[in-house]
Structures are given as structure tokens and as C-alpha cells.
């Protein structure tokens, strides 16, 4: 492709001479008679070298140079001043205002071409540098993105791990206070009939009638409130315990995932039956996997209940399917609920993250599920369906030749722990 050159020259004869001579040498020429016109052409076409006359009608060559240099997009234009002035201070003035080179009229075509070639070389190098810079930037951005992802993964893993370690101890520590909160409330409940009778008798005689009636009315709620609180804490604690149990490798048994799906759906029948239609497509040829059917069932129940909760008011639809995918089996669980907000979609695997109302969810279900699937060397992920609703995808490796089950160093910890408790 011929190199493009812009000539800004008001004198028709000089213009013609330049055009003819340079075209003969194979350049693609753009012509302008004023500085303004030249700038317009430069903005429109990508032209590496401009030959600019000093004296022009309107803005002069110096001003053209200044404007080119002030324009970010024209930064790489190589400017050769074409002038009859050959006073040293004029030339310095030209270079200071942004020209890269100059040639004095009358010009010699060989010299001009040599200078044009220098310009093309400089612009070419600058261009190359720019591309390399861009590649480096892209690379840096990519590295940054990878680093961020990895960091997020690590933070998540650390949170899970510390929760596992923490929960083993904390679950026990929380159980004790919960025991005496709940137990005392239960004893007080047994006392209550006696207290109530006494209060009712008291109320008949005394001026405190109203207070006594109020206490008689409210105390059962208070006791119930205490017990509800204790029960809620118990649920969180038992969720936490599941974490500490993740140390133990899952049982390794041949496991028919279709059967696990069926059982899980049956378990969730009550939660689904009123507002959710279940569409089930289970691959009859689905190969078996090695793993813990109960744990995988727990994961599925979790996802089904989440879906049921998400679709609480509308005509819900739940699609459940299984299929083989190379060396994996794939379970898809999709719903037409509101989906998961993009802002929180990364956080849903974090322990204690929940979008359910206070007291309804512990925020442990999905992180436990993820732990279970990963312990099976599988993967679980979520996306939002374009039509709306969430789509969970679970991958689990197909059973290969049976390997000696879970003799890992991890089992040691559970034995150690069991001792001396």
C-alpha cells in the first residue's frame, strides 16, 4: 500500500510540482490549500507524513503545527516544514512549534524523499510501540483479572476452611449456652401453670389486676420467644457442624444419581406442590458415579428448596435434568423465579450469605453444597437464565474402576478429635 502524504500549500505551482514528483515516486497524495483544510483532512484520514508550507492564507504553518501537536489523535503525524525562510531563528521557531523536520525551497526531490522516508520510519516505529504498549496493557489487565479471581478464590477457600475449623470448636461452645437458655425456658414453662393460677388468684383481689392479666397473657409468648430463639441458634449450629464434618471424605459407593434426584424431589414435595410445576428429564442411560448419595441428595434438596422459596408467589416452573457429558455427569436445576442479582451472584457461595428473610435461612446451604460437590471432585456453578430465573449446574465424575475408598490423612483429625472430648 502506498504511503499517504498530505501537502498543505497555497501556491498552485509549488503544489502541482510536489504532487507530480511525489506521485511519480509512488506516494498517495492528499492536497490542501489552507491550514484549516489540511487539519480537516488529517482528522479524517490516517496520514503519517505532512508537508506544510510556512506562509498560508488564514492560519500559518506554525499555527498548523501547534494545532496538530495539541490534538491527541494526531500525535503521530510527522511534520516536514516546507519554507523559503532559512534564517536559523525561523527554523528553530518551526521546530519549537512542533515540526519534526524542514526543507528549504527550492527543494530537491531526492532530499525530500529521503526526509519523507525518515518520517515514515519514525511514525512506523511509534506505531509499533503503540501496538506493543497495547498488548502489554492487555496482558497486564489480564494478569490483574486473573490475580483478582485467584485472590477471591483464596479468600473464599480460607473462609470455608476457617469456618470448618472454627465450627468444630464453636458449635460445641454455642451448644452449652443454648442448652441452658432452652432448658431454663422449658422448666419455666412447667412452672407456668402454678404461677398462672397464683397470678389469677392475686388478680381478683388486688389493685394490680391489670398488670396481672397482662402478665398472664404475655408470659407464654415470652417463653415461646426464648425457645424459638434457642431453636434458631441450634439450626445454625447444626449447619456449622456439617462444615466441620466436611473433613471426612464422603462415602464412596456406587450411586445412581437419577434415584438421588427422585428421592430429593420426593423430600421436597411439600415445599413444591402448591406453586411449582416440576419438569423432569432424567437420562435413563446415565452412568453411575462413586460418592455419597445422601450428601448429594442434601445438595439437591437445598437447591430445590431455594428454588421453591424464590418462586414463592408466581406460577413456578422447575426443570431438573441429568445427562452424560464426556467423563462427567451433569445435573441441571433451573427455575423461572427472579434469578440471582448480578451483584450477589459471586457471594452466594459464602458462608452466612443469604437473601432470605432473617430467621428463614442460615446462609450455609450453598456453601455446604459447594463443599460436598468439591469433595466429590465435581463442580457446581450458577448462571441466570436469559429468560429469567436461576440455572444451577452440577458436574460429577463418572465412576471409573473402583479405587480404595477415602484413606486420607484427613480422617486422622476426626479420630484425634473424638478422643478426649
Partner 1 sequence: MDNKSKASLLVVDDEVEIQQMLSRHFRFLGYDVETASNGREALELLAKRRTEVIISDIKMPELDGIELLKLVKEQHPMSHVIIITGYVTLDNLLAVFRRGADTCVFKPLNDLTELETAVSHAVDQLKDWQNKLKQLKTLKEEGN
User: Within a 10 A sphere around the Cβ of 153, how many other Cβ atoms?
Assistant: 10
Is position 415 an interface residue for partner 1 (rule: CB under 8 A)?
yes
- Considering only 23, 149, 231, 254, the residue that binds partner 1 (CB under 8 A) is 231
Distance, CA of 339 to CA of 307 (rounded, Å)? 9
Give how many residues touch partner 1 by CB under 8 A.
31
Q: Which of 216, 190, 189, 192 is nearest to 202 (CA)?
A: 216
Is residue 417 a contact point for partner 1 (CB under 8 A)?
yes
Query: Per-residue x/- marks for partner 1, 166-205, CB under 8 A?
Result: -----xx-xxxxxxxxxxx-xx--xx--------------
Rounded-to-integer distance, Cα 317 and Cα 193, Å: 49
Task: Please tell me whether residue 252 binds partner 1 under the rule CB under 8 A.
Answer: no
359: contact with partner 1 by CB under 8 A? no
Query: C-beta of 227: minimal distance to partner 1 in Å?
Result: 7
- Using the rule CB under 8 A, which residue among 221, 315, 400, 421 binds partner 1? 421
Q: How far is the CB of 176 from partner 1 (least distance, A)?
A: 5
Q: Please tell me the distance from the alpha carbon of residue 166 to that of residue 162, in angstroms, as a whole number.
A: 6
220 makes contact with partner 1 (CB under 8 A): no
Tell the residue number behind the cell numbers 498488548, with chain if given.
135
Near partner 1 by CB under 8 A, which window of 94-102, 260-268, 400-408, 410-418? Answer: 410-418
Q: Contact at 8 Å (CB) between 390 and 382?
A: yes
Grid-cell match 473424638, residue found: 418
Of 193 and 386, nearer to partner 1 (C-beta) is 193
Name the grid cell of 412: 486422622
Residue 2 is a binding residue for partner 1 (CB under 8 A): no
Pairing of strands 4-8, 49-53: parallel
294 binds partner 1 (CB under 8 A): no
Q: Using the rule CB under 8 A, is 414 a contact of partner 1?
A: yes
Q: Cα angle at 103 between 57 and 19, to 5 degrees?
A: 65
Of 233-241, 318-326, 344-352, 381-389, which part binds partner 1 (CB under 8 A)? Answer: 233-241
411 binds partner 1 (CB under 8 A): no
β-strands 28-32, 4-8 pairing? parallel
- Residue 7 lies near partner 1 (rule: CB under 8 A): no
Q: How far apart are CA 301 and CA 229, in angstroms?
A: 25
Dist. CA 172–CA 317, nearest whole Å:
40
419 binds partner 1 (CB under 8 A): yes
Q: Give the three-state DSSP class for 390.
A: strand
Residue 231 beta carbon to partner 1: minimum distance, rounded to whole angstroms: 6
**Binding to partner 1 by residue 57, rule CB under 8 A?**
no
Strands of 328-335's sheet, edge to edge?
276-282, 316-325, 328-335, 390-397, 379-384
What nine digits make up the cell of 55? 506562509
Nearer to partner 1, 141 or 186 (CB): 186
237, 286, 310, 340: which one contacts partner 1 (CB under 8 A)?
237
Residue (of 353, 335, 342, 310) closest to 163 by Cα position? 353
Closest approach of partner 1 to the CB of residue 309, in Å: 24
230 binds partner 1 (CB under 8 A): yes
Binding residues for partner 1 (CB under 8 A): 171-172, 174-184, 186-187, 190-191, 227, 230-231, 233-234, 237, 241, 414-415, 417-421
Amino acid at each position: 500500500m502506498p504511503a499517504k502524504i498530505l501537502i498543505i500549500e497555497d501556491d498552485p505551482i509549488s503544489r502541482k510540482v510536489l504532487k507530480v514528483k511525489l506521485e511519480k515516486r509512488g506516494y498517495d497524495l492528499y492536497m490542501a490549500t489552507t491550514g484549516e483544510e489540511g487539519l480537516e483532512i488529517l482528522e479524517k484520514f490516517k496520514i503519517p507524513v505532512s508537508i506544510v508550507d510556512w506562509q498560508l492564507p488564514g492560519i500559518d504553518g506554525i499555527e498548523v503545527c501547534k494545532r496538530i501537536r495539541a490534538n491527541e489523535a494526531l500525535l503521530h503525524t510527522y511534520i516536514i516544514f516546507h519554507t523559503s525562510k532559512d534564517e536559523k531563528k525561523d527554523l528553530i521557531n518551526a521546530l519549537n512549534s512542533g515540526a519534526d523536520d524542514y526543507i528549504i525551497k527550492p527543494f530537491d526531490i531526492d532530499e525530500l524523499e529521503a526526509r519523507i522516508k525518515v518520517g515514515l520510519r519514525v511514525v512506523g516505529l511509534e506505531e509499533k510501540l503503540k501496538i506493543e504498549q497495547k498488548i502489554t496493557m492487555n496482558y497486564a489487565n489480564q494478569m490483574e483479572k486473573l490475580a483478582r479471581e485467584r485472590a477471591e478464590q483464596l479468600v473464599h477457600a480460607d473462609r470455608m476452611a476457617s469456618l470448618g475449623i472454627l465450627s468444630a470448636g464453636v458449635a460445641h461452645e454455642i451448644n452449652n449456652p443454648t442448652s441452658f437458655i432452652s432448658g431454663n425456658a422449658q422448666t419455666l414453662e412447667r412452672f407456668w401453670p402454678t404461677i398462672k393460677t397464683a397470678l389469677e388468684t392475686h388478680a381478683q383481689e388486688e389493685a394490680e389486676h391489670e398488670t396481672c392479666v397482662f402478665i398472664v397473657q404475655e408470659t407464654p409468648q415470652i417463653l415461646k420467644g426464648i425457645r424459638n430463639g434457642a431453636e434458631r441458634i441450634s439450626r445454625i449450629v447444626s449447619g456449622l457442624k456439617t462444615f466441620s464434618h466436611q473433613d471426612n471424605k464422603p462415602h464412596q459407593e456406587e450411586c445412581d444419581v437419577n434415584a438421588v434426584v427422585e428421592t430429593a424431589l420426593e423430600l421436597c414435595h411439600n415445599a413444591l406442590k402448591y406453586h411449582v410445576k416440576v419438569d423432569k428429564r432424567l437420562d435413563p442411560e446415565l452412568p453411575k458415579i462413586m460418592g455419597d448419595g445422601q450428601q448429594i441428595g442434601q445438595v439437591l434438596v437445598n437447591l430445590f428448596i431455594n428454588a421453591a422459596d424464590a418462586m414463592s408467589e408466581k406460577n413456578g416452573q422447575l426443570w431438573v435434568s441429568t445427562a452424560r457429558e464426556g467423563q462427567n455427569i451433569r445435573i441441571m436445576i433451573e427455575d423461572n423465579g427472579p434469578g440471582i442479582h448480578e451483584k450477589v451472584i459471586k457471594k452466594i457461595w459464602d458462608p452466612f450469605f443469604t437473601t432470605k428473610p432473617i430467621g428463614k435461612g442460615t446462609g450455609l446451604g450453598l456453601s455446604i453444597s459447594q463443599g460436598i460437590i468439591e469433595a466429590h471432585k465435581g463442580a457446581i456453578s450458577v448462571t441466570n437464565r436469559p429468560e429469567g430465573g436461576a440455572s444451577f449446574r452440577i458436574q460429577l465424575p463418572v465412576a471409573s474402576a473402583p479405587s480404595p475408598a477415602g484413606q486420607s490423612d484427613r480422617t486422622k483429625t476426626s479420630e484425634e478429635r473424638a478422643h478426649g472430648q
